[in-house]
Amino acid sequence: MMSKKPFLQRILDQKWLLLFILPAFAYFLIFSYLPMYGILIAFKNYTPGVSSNAFIDILNAPWVGFKYFTRFFSSYYFGQILSNTIVLSLMGLVIGFPLPIILALTINEAKDGFFKKFTQTVTYAPYFISVVVVCGMLIAFLNPTTGILTHFLEFFGIKNISFMTDPRYFKIIYVLSDVWQGTGWGSVIYLAALSGVDTQLHEAAIIDGASRWQRVIYINFPILIPTMVILLIMSVGNLMAMGYEKIILLQNPLNLDSSNVIATFVYKTGLLDAQYSYAAAVGLFNSVINCVLLLSVNKIARKVSDISLL
Amino acid sequence: MSNKNQASTRDKLFSLIVYTLLGLALIIVLYPLIYIISASISSPTSVGSGKMWLWPVDITFSGYQVIFKNADIWNGYKNTIFYTVLGTSINLFVTLPCAYALSRRNFMAKKWFMKMLVITMFISGGLIPTFILIKALGMYNTVWALVIPNAASVYNIVVTRTFFQSTIPDELEESAAVDGASDLRIFWQIVLPLSMPIVAVMALFYGVGQWNGYFNAMIYLSDRSLYPLQLILREILVVQDMSSNTTNFSTTSAEMLQQKQQLVDVIKYGVMIVSTLPVIMVYPFLQRFFVKGVMIGSIKG
């Protein structure tokens, strides 16, 4: 037990440690907590530039209550935006979540050596490619006249698919390119968990006549479950906050029916059309749903498996 | 005996499936990358017609020649290097000392500061309030808008803290403290030299984020001369509308547009390579570090 020194003495003793957290403290205070004050504008009629001080502008703006929320919920595009957001996220989760696990289990079964190392290095690499370049690749590969995929499909007699401008293809393009970019990197954390498997378990299983397949299913896979649960909680908590940076790049007026999601709507209404209060209200709606999702999945996971984030 | 034979055939089949799956993953990831490299040094017509599909056809370096003469790309490159070096330095300056303080068992502010960090993972102001704040702080259209608003991430601080906790024995700090070393000296002269793997991982994570980011630059910068490389790339690859000062044409007649399009076709694969090369070159050398970093982060994240 720490001896109870006077408070001031303890501050002096730990002055360096306190100084160490000072930059981070200032950063989070200004850039994470101060914007929370700005959430107020979702309930106000905020116009920028009334005075020279945005804080005073926010304070003085007239209250409008839930006006902007009702406007959003009763708008004709609300249903479409919400369903696009949910469908895109769920597709990403259902297709994107299991693949890193399968890849990690498979890599783990390969013999140590050049091929294994090479496969790991190559499959991790796309994670380091920027979203602009990935979207540039997609646009180039899927070009309806010059794209390489178009040429491949022509070989099979399929012609003239306008991938980028047909709303039907947008979601699968988005999800599959995410898979291409993220599966390898996603497997790293599972491989780390697999490296902690007790070799005695495998030795005992071999003596009992278990096949390699059985050892993967009954020894390696269960080891990954805690990691899976944690990552699942985190991805469900981010369900409504998917990669809008990529969607904005792939979005065009023709595929909008399928690509318009809450995050891109906030960006467009708020920053391009300068309807700050309206966009802030929609953004707040989004983060409230995220927060509720995160807390409920965390609770379910704790009940079912005793594993939780918090 | 037959049982053993059966088992070995079964395991052989298993190996076959494992290597087939890995081979498949390898091809899926590698093919687009090889295609880009080949396309960047092939003639645009053979790329567009589909004649070039794996190895370069009609090899030409005209794309790279245009790229190296393009003032926008050079300026973007220069800006990106500057933002990445400055931004990553700030990231490390905020993250490392903070993570170290939080890793010390008896640090008085540990509990409430961790709470303060975790809360930000659940509640955030969101895009619009943050944008208003950046403008109010006078950071709009300045370098600071790109390096300060993402100065630290809670996840990275927690991973770094876990690294310090699990690799630096408490006794080391205690004995150094007995010898009269201040916390600053302990951190700078003992802890940091022992923690190079996590410093490398964080530099890579933050650095790649700075290098590859475009969104903050897009919303916070209005002055073209400040644009980072990714914004220039966005114009070339996504908006496909190179400005007049890129192409030295000022009219936008149909013919000019067509010429612009042809120019874009010549350079688009080259710019992908040129912009990605630095990251891809650095990453294999740091790979063993960041696998370690992710591993430590996963122990008790």
Q: How far is B113 from chain A (nearest CA, A)?
A: 8
A224 contacts in chain B (CB < 8 Å): none
Is residue B25 located within the same domain as residue B170? no
Is residue B41 located within the same domain as residue B142? no
Is residue B129 located within the same domain as residue B171? yes
Position B230 in a domain: yes
A151 contacts in chain B (CB < 8 Å): 49-50, 53
Q: Are B116 and A121 inside 8 Å of each other by CB?
A: no
pLDDT more than 90, % of chain B = 51
What is the domain-level CATH number for residue B248? 1.10.3720.10
pLDDT more than 90, % of chain A = 60
B131: CB partners within 8 A, 6+ apart: A270, A271, B219
Q: Are B212 and A140 inside 8 Å of each other by CB?
A: no
- Structure tokens belonging to residue B261: 């399009």
Q: In degrees, to the nearest 5, what angle opens at C-alpha A291 toward C-alphas A96 and A43?
A: 130
Q: Are B132 and A276 inside 8 Å of each other by CB?
A: yes
Average pLDDT over residues A244-263: 91
Is residue B98 located within the same domain as residue B157? yes
Instruction: Give the separation between CA B230 and CA B209, rounded to whole angstroms.
Output: 11
Residues A45/A64, Cβ–Cβ less than 8 Å: yes
Phi-psi region for residue B243, left (φ > 0), alpha (ψ -120 to 50) or beta? beta
Nearest to A54 among B48, B132, B287 (CB): B132
Position B149 in a domain: yes
- Cα distances (Å, whole numbers) of residue A148 to A65, A133, A145, B53, B239: 53, 16, 9, 7, 20
Q: Are B124 and A35 inside 8 Å of each other by CB?
A: yes
- Structure tokens belonging to residue B9: 């055939």
Q: Are B129 and A24 inside 8 Å of each other by CB?
A: no
Confidence bin at A7 (pLDDT 50/70/90): confident
pLDDT value for B252: 55
> Which of A132, A161, A129 has its CA nearest to residue A147?
A161
User: pLDDT tens across A179-218, in order?
Assistant: 999 999 999 889 888 888 888 999 999 999 888 899 999 9
Residues B48/A145, Cβ–Cβ less than 8 Å: yes
The rounded mean pLDDT for chain A is: 90
Is residue B39 located within the same domain as residue B180? no
Q: Are B50 and A123 inside 8 Å of each other by CB?
A: no
Is residue B122 located within the same domain as residue B23? no
pLDDT value for A196: 80
Is residue B10 located within the same domain as residue B32? yes
For residues A191 and A2, the model is more confident at A191
pLDDT value for B5: 72
B241: CB partners within 8 A, 6+ apart: B235, B260
Confidence bin at A33 (pLDDT 50/70/90): very high
Nearest to B120 among A32, A39, A55 (CB): A32
Is residue B43 located within the same domain as residue B163? no
User: pLDDT tens across B258-288, in order?
Assistant: 777 777 888 899 999 999 998 888 888 877 7
Position B153 in a domain: yes
Instruction: Give the separation between CA B272 and CA A100, rounded to whole angstroms.
Output: 26
Is residue B32 located within the same domain as residue B168? no
User: pLDDT tens across A265-309, in order?
Assistant: 999 999 999 999 999 999 999 989 888 888 888 888 888 777 766
The rounded mean pLDDT for chain B is: 86
**A67-305: which CATH topology?**
MetI-like fold (1.10.3720)
The DSSP secondary structure of A167-229, one letter per residue, reads: HHHHHHHHHHHHHHHHHHHHHHHHHHHHTT--HHHHHHHHHTT--HHHHIIIIIHHHHHHHHH
- State the ipTM, two decimals: 0.88
Instruction: Give the separation between CA A252 and CA B238, rounded to whole angstroms.
Output: 10
Q: Are A38 and B272 inside 8 Å of each other by CB?
A: no
pLDDT value for B263: 76
Distance of CA B56 to the CA centre of its chain: 28
Nearest to B130 among A35, A195, A211 (CB): A35
Give a three-class secondary structure readout of A226-243.
HHHHHHHHHHHHCCCCCC
Containing A304, the helix (H) or strand (E) segment is helix A276-305
B237 contacts in chain A (CB < 8 Å): 132-133, 135-136, 139-140
Q: Are B33 and A125 inside 8 Å of each other by CB?
A: yes
Q: Are B236 and A36 inside 8 Å of each other by CB?
A: no
Domain coordinates in residue numbering, chain A: 67-305
Residue B218 lies in domain: 62-299
Confidence bin at B250 (pLDDT 50/70/90): very low
Q: Could you give phi then psi for residue A254, rounded to 5 degrees?
A: -80, -25
Q: How far is B153 from chain A (nearest CA, A)?
A: 9
User: pLDDT tens across B153-163, in order?
Assistant: 998 898 899 88
The DSSP secondary structure of B107-171, one letter per residue, reads: -TTHHHHHHHHHHHHH----HHHHHHHHHHTT-TTSTHHHHSTTS--HHHHHHHHHHHHHHS-HH
User: pLDDT tens across B86-107, in order?
Assistant: 999 999 999 999 999 999 888 9
Is residue B111 located within the same domain as residue B7? no
How many domains does chain B fold into?
2
Q: In the predicted model, is pLDDT for residue A1 greater than 60?
A: no
Position B55 in a domain: no
User: pLDDT tens across B217-235, in order?
Assistant: 999 999 999 999 999 999 8
Q: Could you give phi then psi for residue B140, rounded to 5 degrees?
A: -60, 135
CA closest to B233 among chain A residues = A132
Q: In this structure, what is the dihedral angle of CA atoms A198, A199, A205, A209, given to the nearest 10 degrees?
A: 170
Instruction: Give the separation between CA B153 and CA B165, rounded to whole angstroms.
Output: 18
Q: In the predicted model, is pLDDT for residue B246 greater than 70?
A: no
Average pLDDT over residues A42-68: 89
Position B245 in a domain: yes
User: pLDDT tens across A73-96, in order?
Assistant: 999 999 999 999 999 999 999 999
Position B6 in a domain: yes
Is residue B19 located within the same domain as residue B136? no
A25 contacts in chain B (CB < 8 Å): 98, 113, 116
Half-sphere exposure of A299 (CA within 13 A, CB side): 6
pLDDT value for B2: 55
Q: In degrees, to the nearest 5, what angle opens at C-alpha B26 toward C-alphas B22 and B30?
A: 175
> Angle between the B71-103 and B254-299 helix axes, to the nearest 10 degrees?
20
